[in-house]
Amino acid sequence: MESFGRESQTIAAISTGLIPSGVGMVRVSGPKAIEIADQVFQTVGQKPLQQRKGYTSAFGHIHDGDEMIDEGVAAVYRAPHSYTGEDVVELCCHGGVYLMERTLRVLLDHGARLAEEGEFTKRAFLNGKLSLDQAESVIGLIQAESAGAARAALAGKDGALKREILSVQKRLTGTAAHLSAWVDYPEEDVEELSPQSLVSEMEGSQKILESLYKKYDTGKMIRKGISTAIVGKPNVGKSTLMNLLSRYERSIVTDIPGTTRDVVEESVLIGGYALRLADTAGLRETEDQVEAIGVQWSRKKMESSDLILAVFDLSRPMDDDDHALLETVEGRTFIAILNKKDAASEADISAGERLIREKASDVLVMSAQTGEGLEQLEQMIPKVLGLNKIDPAAAMIANERQRECVKRALDALAEGIEALRAGITLDAVSVCLEDALSPLMELTGERASDAVIEQVFEQFCVGK
Ligand SMILES: Nc1nc2c(ncn2[C@@H]2O[C@H](COP(=O)(O)OP(=O)(O)OP(=O)(O)O)[C@@H](O)[C@H]2O)c(=O)[nH]1
Ligand SMILES: [Mg+2]
């Protein structure tokens, strides 16, 4: 009972980060937002906030009783034309942690309640401002670390996925209508209402969902970054490549084989994508206990990464270790980096290249030391991963929850198609159609349980 009416209460939270910064923002939302803000914020030479229109702002003083805390600006939004769909006031003050916390405390003293994680966005969802998948894109926007990730999140927030899902829902509802027409008037031998035509309709929906589903892993790389392992035998120049890509001395480089022992990680931006690089210990059999652990870690890193940069040294003849590496990366997404071009003769280069090309389709001759070939590498990476074929602004599944919903819809559709083909009762097919529709409505939040909604908004921070 404690939570009775919580949704109609006025909430407040600090929406900017809790670190000293130029400006801080404390947000209030709910039926009493403007009234409460008026008790805390005194406009200077202007009407109180309650007499102001939406989408206006006023300069004034934030005070606690007679004590002035700070000066700032209050922006007023009137329901339903605000982020949450309720009356909202955003109080911008100086971004000192004490000032923001004090401002918040005074708002709470005057009747606001501290907002829970994601409660502003949750209210936007409950008030029909956003679908559940759009709300999830807000998290994506906040977490985006690259241009690609930000574009994908913005497209999601704009409703790209929602529109695609709604179009499939519409198709499925149409198919359900045809199915019942066929059940009700079987004697009307209408050509387009055959089991075969129903199968085609369902396959149409299946195709759209499948294409979304297949793009999931690539989309994930755009959003979360491409985990990339730099591997190779000792001394081939892995750490030099790491430093070249990081643009600073991230890893220790020496001419002693076995220099790198730990996995050294760094995030870099390449062509609008985030690359999560891991420089690893050179792969070789070793008696050295510490180095041996490093080699194990290298292998683990290689197994879990999206992309492998397999480095070879052109200035020395290829040996068994190089061949072993080629075998290890076979079947994986990798680029063979033929390094130390500057220290190799034309003959070495062509011999090395010929050998590697037998096993690798993406090969780059470069010099990590001089930087020659860096640009080509940066262009190759998105291409090898197929990222260049994906429009970040297109509809994309953004997380595991959404992926699972699409998967359930696909399973139900496959079952329905099989049932139709096998001539199983049409009632069973109706059930499959309903089973396909239901997870799609869960995805957009049109028909999601409270538990699902809770889980989504728990991932937000307070203030959003
Ligand atoms: N000439 C030339 N030397 C290079 C190049 N890349 C790396 N080196 C040299 O090769 C040696 C080994 O470089 P590292 O980057 O430490 O090699 P690594 O693969 O990380 O070696 P381990 O950590 O021991 O496995 C160093 O002396 C580098 O300066 C290159 O492109 N050209
Ligand atoms: Mg190294």
Q: Which two tokens stand for residue 170?
A: 């519409």
Q: Are residues 91 and 156 in the same domain?
A: no
Indicate which CATH number applies to the domain containing 262.
3.40.50.300
Residue 338, H or E segment: strand 334-339
Segment 235-258, tens digit of pLDDT: 999 999 999 999 999 999 999 999
Counting atoms of ligand 1 from 1, which one is nearest the CA of 281?
25
**Do 320 and 418 share a domain, yes or no?**
no
Provide the token pair at 244: 């070249």
pLDDT band at 191 (very low <50, low <70, confident <90, very high): low
Query: Are 366 and 406 found together in one domain?
Result: no
Structural element, H or E, at residue 412:
helix 400-421
Which residues neighbour ligand 2 (ion) by CB within 5 Å? 238-239, 259-260
What pLDDT is attached to residue 141? Answer: 94
186 Cβ below 6 A of ligand 1: no
CB-side neighbour CA atoms (13 Å) of 422:
10
pLDDT of 188 above 60: yes
Spatial separation of the C-alpha atoms in residues 279 and 282, rounded to whole Å: 9
* Residue 94, pLDDT score: 97
Report yes or no on 180 lying in a domain. yes
Gap between the Cα atoms of 16 and 96, Å rounded: 11
Q: What is the per-residue pLDDT across 163-175, written as a single tens digit (0 to 9) for each?
A: 999 999 999 999 9
Range of the domain at 187: 137-215+396-447
Residue 309 in contact with ligand 1 by CB distance below 6 A: no
DSSP per-residue letters across 278-335 = EE-PPP---S-HHHHHHHHHHHHHHHH-SEEEEEEETTS---HHHHHHHHHHTTS-EE
> Is the distance from the beta carbon of residue 239 to the nearest atom of ligand 1 less than 6 Å?
yes
Which of left, alpha, beta for 116 (phi over 0: left; psi -120 to 50: alpha)? beta
Q: Is there a single domain that holds both residue 350 and residue 403?
A: no
Give the whole-angstrom CA distance, residue 276 versus residue 250: 13
pTM: 0.85
Among 33-37, 188-192, 341-345, 370-374, which stretch is predicted with the lowest mean pLDDT?
188-192
Same domain membership, residue 236 and residue 350: yes
